[in-house]
Chain A
């Protein structure tokens, strides 16, 4: 398994993370923004796995496991909050939730 240099995986992860950041900054649907956050978490997972391979240790893969669990909990709570906001306002558009804006 020495074919591909680990740096390429890191480059892929960096690009995906950047795309996730740009998505969160540009999209306005709360659910879509949430999916871009998932994309960022995925990119970080790829970094963990790559470092696990570079160091020859499985601890990085254990950390991916923890990230997965936290992401699952985050998704559940976040989607419930989005659902509540959408119920109250009729849309999941983040620009509509402007109660605290002055």
Chain B
């Protein structure tokens, strides 16, 4: 029990610290790394609360796949560009901070006042979840619920993923590449191009942008 308090304290500090550091890091890569840190800390929080499957998925999908995607796009757009931390819109930053403080006050008020109300509503407490984690196991219990009560949302999720894939393929298609070209000659001009082709040039002229790309400097 005491150990859990210690782990929670460390997790709390790391998660909040990484989140705060995200606000002040000027470089997008640093922001991404701090986000990974806070996500790993949250995975620890999930473990502490008996959500073992979710914790592992959090690390694999969030800290792994999604953050790699972010870093990929950051690198594709150029790492060296520092975001100017000066605000062109006068007074926006204090205003945003004020709104943030207001939101924090509201949410914390709801949390601190509402916990007892919510906690009384369920059938079981933490003991019930522990029993479930013991007997069928966390993953089995999740699967039982997911494939019975939430079967329809699960299938809708698969449709969502297919739509996202098709949408991204349509979006990432180069402009001017309408597909009218016969497939049998995909040859010289766009053969050696990397996957993110055309990221450099922004012009439809594929050959010109291929030349710019080999120098590796977008824009």
Contacts and interface: CB of A to CB of B under 8 A. Distances in A.
A7 B142 CA distance: 24
B205 interface: no
A51 B92 CA distance: 35
Contacts of B76: 83
B128 interface: yes
Contact of B164 (A3, A7, A58, A77): A77
Contact of A79 (B70, B81, B93): B70
A35 B145 contact: no
B46 A49 contact: yes
Interface of B is mostly: helix
Contact of B54 (A15, A49, A51, A75): A49
Contact of A42 (B32, B42, B83): B42
Nearest to A42: B42
A55 B125 CA distance: 5
Contact of B122 (A21, A54, A65): A54
Interface in B125-168: 125-132, 138, 141-142, 145-146, 149-150, 153, 157, 160-161, 163-165, 167-168
B69 A69 contact: no
A88 B62 CA distance: 29
B108 interface: yes
Interface of A: 1-4, 6-12, 14-23, 25-29, 31-32, 34-36, 38-39, 42, 45-46, 49-59, 61-62, 64-66, 68-73, 75-77, 79-84, 86-88, 90-93, 95
Interface of B: 1-5, 8, 12, 15-16, 19-20, 22-23, 28, 31-32, 35, 38-39, 42, 45-46, 48-51, 53-54, 57-58, 61-62, 65-66, 69-70, 73-74, 76-77, 81, 83-84, 87-88, 92-93, 96-97, 99-100, 103-104, 107-108, 111-112, 115, 118-119, 121-132, 138, 141-142, 145-146, 149-150, 153, 157, 160-161, 163-165, 167-168, 171-172, 196, 198-199, 202, 218-219
20 contacts: A2-B1, A3-B5, A9-B49, A10-B115, A12-B16, A25-B99, A28-B84, A36-B22, A57-B122, A57-B132, A64-B51, A64-B54, A65-B57, A66-B150, A76-B164, A76-B168, A77-B164, A77-B167, A77-B171, A83-B199
